[in-house]
Structures are given as structure tokens and as C-alpha cells.
């Protein structure tokens, strides 16, 4: 029996060889069988050949293959997977969800908050420092070297008495009288001492401001000018009001000298006392005051607390002071 017949007559052998015997007709008289080999080629068997084996002639695999009664047949490439496999379906045009807008709430970290607080504190501190510096520096001060001594000199006396300066109206910033002043008869018999009852001053700048305020207040009260003939500042300087030659707003027959400040609380300084005595001596020297002039306090001529107890306790010890109520 030939090999082809053995394969043909034993299906188990064909199954193990993974090929089938298919009838094949040819024009030649010999009986031939075509075997479908596992490698995808066809083998031609001829029972007429001497050795009865598989012919040496091979042909290409046709586009159509018929397989019958066979198992474990694999057509095409084989892919093997070892282990669990998950198969995902991949669509050609996957749906891409639209991106939705979300509100992001950005919170500052503790370090950023601390830095912001420190920055704000620094800014506030700088503002406070600037404000303190601005208000601590006195307003434009009148420096002594800016006073023109020659131009400010008048016929009524020098611009300095002893160690005390005489600050004329053009220096402290006074205005001319709003109407003519009445002249004072010389030599004058009385000197009336009062206080302004306002704030104390210690330099030309602050005293000059008080002088201008006093002038404005008196003129508003229907006085033609600042009401005093002279004022004594806390800086020990003499400030000129109506000067020696004009009647003040207290009494017609006196020279009115007022201390800047409220002497219920304030105290006279030695410089202020010295300046007052220098001024009185100059008045006598110029013939503006009688050599026997009399000093009286404001409250001796009218019901008032002026010049304040701290002034009164000083002037009552002066040799020209007169006790009791005075009418003139």
C-alpha cells in the first residue's frame, strides 16, 4: 500500500498531520492526490510512481482552500497571550467631552498673608512718621538774622533793650489800623498790667502767631487795632502793639502792657520780668512815662481775673505798684 493510500484510508493519521486528502483531477491518466500540508503548500501524490510517495512537485496555495474532517487547523498569523488579558473596544471617533469652566478659588498662603500685613503696617508707620515730622516742625520761623534792624527802627526807641529784642509790627506780621488811633498824652501817669488769657509762647514764630490772632480778634470786636501798647512773650522779647503814642482799649491815661499767656496757670519767667522792667525804664527815658508813674493790675480797674494771680503776686512787689482800686 502506498503512502497516499495509507493516509487516505486512515483519517486519524490525516488529522494528526493537519491536512486532508482532497480529490484532484488532472488530464493525465495517472491517479494523483493533492495534500494540504500544514505549512500552507499543496503536495501532489501520485500512486503511479514507483516509490508511491509524495511527489517532488509543489504548487502555490490557491486563493480558495477546502478543509474537511480536520481539527486544530490554524489559518493566518497566530498571536499568543500569556496571563490575563483585557480587551478594550476602541471606537474610531471617541467622544471628547467639552471642557467645563470652573471657578478657581485661590487662597493666599499664611506666608503671603503675613507678608501683606507687614507691608501694610510699614506703609502706615511711614505715613505716621511723616505726619509727626510735619506737625512737629514749627511753621516758618522768623530768624533773628532776617530782621532788618535799620528799617524797623522808629523814633520811639531802639530795637533791643538790654538782652531783649523789640519786635516791631512789621516783623510779627501786624496790619495797619483799620481807622485812625487816638493819641496818648505824655508823660503818662499809669501803667496797666494784664494778660492775654490765651496760650503761652516761647519763640518769635509762635508769639507772632498769637499777636496776629489777637489783632484779628480785637478788630473784629470793633477795635481799630490790637488793643495793647506792648506785649511780653514767653521768649523774653517785647512785641510792639500800638506803641507809646496811642491810647489803648483799656484806659485813656495809661500804657497797657500785657503778658502773652494765661497766668492762672502759667508762670512769669525771669526774662519776662527783666524785659518788662527794661521797657518801663525806656519809657521814662524817652519821656513817654512820668518818672513817678504808677503800676496797677487790670483787676484793680474793672471786675476781671486779669492779669492772673501768678502775675499779680510778682508786680505787687515792684516799687511803682499802687494798691487798692484805681480810677483814672
User: CA 159: distance to chain centroid?
Assistant: 50
pLDDT at 102 over 60: no
pLDDT in tens, 285-323: 999 999 999 999 999 999 999 999 999 999 999 999 999
How much is the pLDDT for 80? 61
Please, where in the chain does CATH 3.40.80.10 lie? 144-315
**60 exposed, middle or buried (CB, 10 Å; 0-12, 13-18, 19+)?**
exposed
pLDDT band at 71 (very low <50, low <70, confident <90, very high): low
Residues ≥6 apart with Cβ < 8 Å to 204:
141, 142, 144, 167, 171, 172, 233, 235, 237
> Measured between alpha carbons, how far is 175 from 208 in angstroms, rounded to an integer?
12
- Name beta bridge partners: 191: 255, 295
> Measured between alpha carbons, how far is 156 from 170 in angstroms, rounded to an integer?
15
Q: Is the pTM of this model over 0.85?
A: no
How much is the pLDDT for 205? 97
More confident residue, 18 or 224: 224
pLDDT in tens, 47-64: 444 444 444 444 445 555
**22 exposed, middle or buried (CB, 10 Å; 0-12, 13-18, 19+)?**
middle
pLDDT band at 130 (very low <50, low <70, confident <90, very high): confident
> Measured between alpha carbons, how far is 210 from 216 in angstroms, rounded to an integer?
10
How much is the pLDDT for 68? 62
Residue 258's φ and ψ, nearest 5 degrees, are -125, 140
- What fold is seen in the domain 144-315? Lysozyme-like (3.40.80)
Helix (H, G, I), strand (E, B) or coil at 61: coil
How much is the pLDDT for 125? 84
- Name beta bridge partners: 192: 256, 296
Residue 187's φ and ψ, nearest 5 degrees, are -70, 145
Helix (H, G, I), strand (E, B) or coil at 195: strand
pLDDT in tens, 144-171: 333 333 333 344 568 899 999 999 999 9
- Mean pLDDT of the chain, nearest integer: 77
pLDDT at 228 over 60: yes
> Measured between alpha carbons, how far is 62 from 60 in angstroms, rounded to an integer?
6
How much is the pLDDT for 140? 39
Amino acid at each position: 500500500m502506498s503512502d497516499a493510500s495509507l493516509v487516505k484510508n486512515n483519517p486519524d493519521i490525516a488529522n494528526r498531520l493537519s491536512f486532508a486528502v482532497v480529490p484532484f483531477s488532472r488530464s493525465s491518466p495517472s491517479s494523483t492526490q493533492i495534500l494540504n500540508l500544514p505549512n500552507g503548500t499543496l503536495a501532489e501524490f501520485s500512486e503511479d510512481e514507483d516509490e508511491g510517495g509524495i511527489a517532488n512537485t509543489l504548487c502555490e496555495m490557491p486563493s480558495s482552500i477546502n478543509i474537511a474532517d480536520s481539527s486544530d487547523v490554524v489559518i493566518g498569523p497566530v498571536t499568543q497571550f500569556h496571563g490575563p488579558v483585557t480587551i478594550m473596544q476602541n471606537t474610531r471617533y471617541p467622544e471628547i467631552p467639552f471642557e467645563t469652566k470652573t471657578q478657581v478659588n485661590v487662597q493666599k498662603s499664611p506666608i503671603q498673608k503675613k507678608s501683606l500685613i507687614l507691608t501694610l503696617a510699614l506703609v502706615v508707620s511711614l505715613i505716621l512718621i511723616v505726619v509727626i515730622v510735619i506737625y512737629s516742625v514749627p511753621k516758618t520761623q522768623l530768624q533773628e538774622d532776617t530782621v532788618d534792624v535799620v528799617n524797623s527802627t522808629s523814633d520811639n526807641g531802639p530795637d533791643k533793650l538790654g538782652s531783649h529784642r523789640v519786635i516791631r509790627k512789621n516783623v510779627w506780621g501786624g496790619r495797619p489800623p483799620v481807622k485812625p488811633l487816638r493819641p496818648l498824652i505824655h508823660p503818662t501817669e499809669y501803667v496797666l498790667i494784664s494778660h492775654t488769657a490765651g496760650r503761652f509762647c516761647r519763640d518769635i514764630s509762635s508769639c507772632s502767631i498769637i499777636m496776629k490772632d489777637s489783632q484779628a480778634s480785637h478788630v473784629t470786636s470793633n477795635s481799630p487795632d490790637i488793643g495793647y501798647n506792648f506785649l511780653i512773650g514767653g521768649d523774653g522779647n517785647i512785641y510792639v502793639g500800638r506803641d507809646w503814642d496811642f491810647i489803648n482799649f483799656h484806659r485813656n491815661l495809661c500804657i497797657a502792657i500785657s503778658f502773652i499767656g494765661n497766668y492762672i496757670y502759667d508762670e512769669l519767667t525771669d526774662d519776662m520780668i527783666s524785659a518788662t522792667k527794661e521797657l518801663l525804664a525806656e519809657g521814662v527815658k524817652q519821656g513817654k512815662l512820668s518818672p513817678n508813674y504808677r503800676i496797677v493790675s487790670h483787676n484793680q480797674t474793672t471786675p476781671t481775673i486779669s492779669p492772673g494771680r501768678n502775675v499779680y503776686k510778682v508786680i505787687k512787689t515792684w516799687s511803682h505798684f499802687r494798691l487798692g482800686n484805681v480810677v483814672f
